[in-house]
């Protein structure tokens, strides 16, 4: 299987960018044209099937556009692809994140999806009809719930799919008692990772952005966009079926986050996108805006250290000035090496700045310092990383601010990444 992966690599250990989701082929779903294929991620099954997923934004590339979960499938390790499929009816969701689990001796492919209740109501106001329209049973939702967490499940290597809605006692974002802080919305921004050893061995974790309220009770929010960006957290699961909310960083500095386990000390490392500060922000004047925030945890993500700025990660430059490139930092751990991918700049596209100039960086000291090198000179926005064997990585990324030019996959070896230019 790994030999087939290395067929993608040139002599230096870097592969070409292969399009896995196209916005140029006239793909339509639910009467809407595919405008963007955004935030892709891949997973490899036990049978050697490579499955790719992305947000298929329909009619518009805006964050609030109706979306479907797109899937593409390769049976020969990415050499050829069967073609895009739409797995869900048009609705507003974020961050399809795939992973696999073993159930009764068989493998299940799962995809975590976070829906916005407000936007589903715009498409279908009668929640009693949601099962027929979206495949979502809304009967167990709390009246004030904003987020709907769904697991898409396949028992046959991605051929067919069913839906598991996490409501009631299974809701990762339960509405609390009065006078409690509430995370009302948390979309999946990191990839699903597995803690390899220690007291939480086998636990799956995924980074999320956290939006919420400092105190309950509140009036139900009309839209998740009306909830303030409070910080970051994780969801975790010990069985891959039910998910719970970890410790929340409520500092208002950043939102989108990725998390990976640290192999040698059983800790976790979180990397966050710096975002708009709540109120005046003197840090911007010190050149911090646009940098990445980082934290460690030594208790499985229940508590986090104070933030710090890792050294060596790129800043976007516009006319010699730092410019916030506002993009999720991906994360992956290969042994003791941490890896991230992100855009390093912006280029004009149709008169507007957009994310571009992809870089990939590695850290050998738990995320304190990083060394980056270019991986793509074109448009490059949200990306995810997936391990292949002991020395390989897939980099899945979008072209265009929100994937207006599709999503692509690139293979690389850790030897190429560690080689200094």
Give the pairing of strands 244-245 and 254-262: unpaired
CATH number of the 2-418 domain:
2.120.10.10
Distance CA 394, CA 94 (A): 21
Domain spans of the chain, in order of start: 2-418
- Residue 131 in 3-state DSSP? helix
Q: Two tokens at 106?
A: 């068989």
Specify whether the CB–CB gap between 245 and 207 falls below 8 A: no
C-alpha torsion sign, points 331, 295, 174, 101: positive
Instruction: Kindly calculate the radius of gyration of the chain based on its CA atoms and give it in whole angstroms.
Output: 20
Q: What percent of the chain has pLDDT over 70?
A: 85
Average pLDDT value for residue range 80-89: 96
What are the E-state strand segments in 244-287? 244-245, 249-250, 254-262, 267-274
- Cβ atoms < 10 Å from Cβ of 179: 9
Give the pLDDT mean for 202-206: 95
How far, in Å, CA of 154 to CA of 172, rounded? 22
Model pTM?
A: 0.92
With contact defined as beta carbons under 8 Å apart, do 34 and 83 qualify? no
What is the predicted pLDDT for the residue at 319? 42
Q: Can you tell me which residue has the tokens 């697991």? A: 151
Is residue 223 pLDDT above 70, yes or no? no
**Nearest to 106, CA basis, from 45, 150, 50, 48:** 45
Residues 41 and 109 sit within 8 Å (Cβ to Cβ) = no
**pLDDT above 90 covers what percent of the chain?**
60
pLDDT tens readout for residues 129-182? 999 999 999 999 988 888 899 999 999 999 999 999 999 999 998 887 766 677
């Amino acid at each position: 299987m790994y030999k087939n992966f290395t067929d993608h690599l040139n002599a230096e250990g870097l592969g070409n960018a292969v399009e896995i989701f196209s916005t140029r082929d006239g793909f339509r779903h639910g009467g809407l044209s595919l405008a963007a294929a955004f935030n892709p991620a891949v997973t490899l099954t036990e049978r050697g099937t490579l499955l790719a997923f992305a947000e298929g934004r329909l009619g518009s590339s805006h964050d609030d556009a109706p979306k479907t979960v797109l899937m593409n499938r390769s049976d020969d390790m990415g050499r050829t692809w069967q073609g895009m499929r739409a797995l869900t009816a048009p609705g507003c969701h974020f961050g399809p994140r795939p992973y696999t689990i073993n159930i009764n001796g068989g493998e299940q492919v799962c995809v975590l999806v976070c829906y916005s209740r407000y936007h589903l109501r715009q498409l279908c106001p009668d929640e009693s009809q949601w099962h027929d329209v979206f495949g979502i049973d809304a009967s167990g939702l709390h009246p004030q719930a904003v987020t709907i967490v769904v697991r898409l499940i396949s028992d046959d290597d991605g051929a067919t799919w069913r839906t598991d809605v996490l409501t009631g006692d299974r809701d990762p974002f339960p509405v609390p008692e009065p006078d409690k802080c509430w995370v009302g919305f948390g979309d999946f921004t990191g990839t699903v990772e597995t803690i390899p050893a220690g007291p939480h061995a086998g636990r799956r974790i995924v980074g999320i952005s956290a939006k919420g309220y400092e105190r309950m009770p509140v009036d139900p929010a009309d839209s998740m966009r009306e909830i303030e960006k409070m910080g970051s957290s994780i969801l975790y699961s010990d069985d891959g079926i039910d998910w719970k909310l970890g410790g929340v960083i409520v500092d208002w500095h950043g939102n989108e986050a990725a998390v990976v386990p640290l192999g040698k000390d059983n800790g976790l490392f979180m990397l966050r996108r710096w975002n708009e500060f709540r109120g005046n922000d003197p840090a911007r004047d010190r050149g911090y805006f646009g940098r990445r925030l980082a934290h460690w945890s030594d208790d499985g993500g229940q508590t986090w250290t104070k933030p710090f700025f890792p050294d060596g990660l790129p800043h976007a430059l516009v006319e010699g000035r730092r410019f916030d490139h506002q993009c999720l930092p991906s994360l992956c751990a290969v042994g003791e090496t941490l890896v991230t991918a992100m855009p390093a700049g912006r280029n004009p596209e149709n008169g507007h700045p957009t994310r571009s100039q992809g870089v990939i960086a590695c850290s050998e000291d738990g995320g304190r310092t990083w060394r980056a090198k270019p991986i793509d000179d074109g448009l490059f926005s949200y990306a995810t990383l997936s391990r292949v064997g002991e020395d390989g990585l897939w980099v899945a990324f979008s072209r265009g601010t929100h994937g207006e030019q599709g999503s692509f996959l690139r293979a690389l070896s850790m030897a190429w990444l560690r080689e200094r230019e």
